[in-house]
């Protein structure tokens, strides 16, 4: 009987998009998601939303592979978002998490694709969680100014930027990474769904996605409220300007009438 062996899985979110057409010449092991051979015995699962998940890839092989991918990554991150997991291959054990180690019966491509789907989504969530935390830090002083002084922020461009960032993050979560959606692979291999559900629960994908959605809604609502207040202040200021101009015009008219009456 072969002893269980351990391998490392590494998910790296490299950027906004990954052009998979560049991998047409690579040794394909499977599609949807694209899975290719890397190095001596490693494998890589690639996703259009900028993530790649590596299995059994040595450090030098990883560096060479990432350098090969770099020209095909849109809006690359300065530092990739990384998620790691140790796998134990043991045909005799029950599949699932054993503390912080994932037990698998074998390393067939479909199992690796399921694992890669969860790790890639977790890396995306990790990036968005960092970005949303930063957005909170930027929006909070604006909300504090509103509470303490009863006035909106002065820079409409910053508020519109917050709203735009929020909408873009929501679109990417739902439209690209499809965080809370099951991988299409499970339609063809429903027997792998229990493995996916265990991993989804372990990495808390749904809980983290819902928490992010609530935070994004709060940021958007805060920015929109401040922007509306700013617009209202500007409208009120314009009304005052118009009122003042009317008063001045009336003053000139009265003065002119007074002079004419005095002259006659």
pLDDT tier at 152, thresholds 50, 70, 90 = very low
From the options 3.30.310, 1.10.10, 1.20.120, 1.10.287, give the CATH code of 5-106.
Answer: 3.30.310
> Hey, where are the domains in the chain?
5-106, 118-263
Q: What's the N-to-C CA distance of the chain in angstroms? A: 123
- Asked if residue 264 has pLDDT above 60, the reply is no
Give me the mean pLDDT over the 201-212 stretch: 90
pLDDT at residue 179, as a whole number: 78
Tell me whether residue 75 is exposed, middle or buried, using C-beta atoms within 10 angstroms of its C-beta: 0 to 12, 13 to 18, 19 or more.
Answer: exposed
pLDDT at residue 153, as a whole number: 45
**45-102 residue pLDDT tens:** 999 999 999 999 999 999 999 999 999 999 898 999 999 999 999 998 988 899 899 9
**1-46 residue pLDDT tens:** 567 789 999 999 999 889 988 777 777 899 889 999 998 899 999 9
CA atoms of 220 and 207, how far apart (whole Å): 20
pLDDT tier at 134, thresholds 50, 70, 90 = confident
CB contact burial 192-213 (16+ within 10 A = b; e otherwise): bbebbebbbeebebeebbeebb
pLDDT at residue 257, as a whole number: 61
Q: Angle at the Cα of 171 (from 168 to 176), degrees rounded to 5?
A: 120
């Amino acid at each position: 009987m072969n002893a269980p062996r351990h391998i490392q899985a590494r998910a790296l979110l490299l950027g906004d998009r990954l052009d998979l057409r560049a991998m047409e010449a690579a040794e394909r092991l499977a599609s949807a998601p694209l899975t290719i051979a890397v190095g001596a015995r490693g494998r890589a699962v690639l996703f259009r939303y900028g993530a790649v998940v590596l299995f059994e890839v040595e450090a030098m092989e990883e560096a060479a592979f990432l350098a090969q991918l770099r020209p095909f990554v849109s809006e690359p991150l300065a530092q990739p978002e990384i998620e790691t997991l140790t796998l134990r291959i043991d045909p005799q054990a029950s599949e699932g998490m054993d503390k912080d180690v994932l037990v698998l019966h074998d390393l067939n491509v479909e199992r690796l694709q399921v694992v890669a789907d969860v790790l890639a989504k977790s890396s995306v969530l990790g990036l968005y969680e960092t970005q949303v935390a930063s957005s909170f830090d930027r929006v909070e002083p604006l909300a504090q100014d509103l509470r303490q002084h009863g006035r909106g922020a002065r820079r409409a461009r910053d508020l519109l930027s917050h709203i735009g960032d929020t909408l873009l993050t929501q679109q990417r979560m739902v439209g690209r990474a499809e965080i809370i959606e099951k991988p299409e692979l499970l339609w063809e291999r429903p027997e792998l769904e229990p493995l996916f559900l265990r991993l989804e629960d372990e990495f808390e994908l749904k809980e983290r996605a819902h928490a992010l959605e609530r935070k994004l809604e709060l940021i958007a609502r805060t920015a929109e409220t401040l922007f509306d207040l700013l617009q209202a202040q500007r409208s009120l200021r314009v009304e005052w300007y118009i009122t003042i101009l009317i008063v001045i015009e009336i003053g000139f008219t009265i003065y002119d009438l007074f002079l004419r009456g005095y002259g006659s």
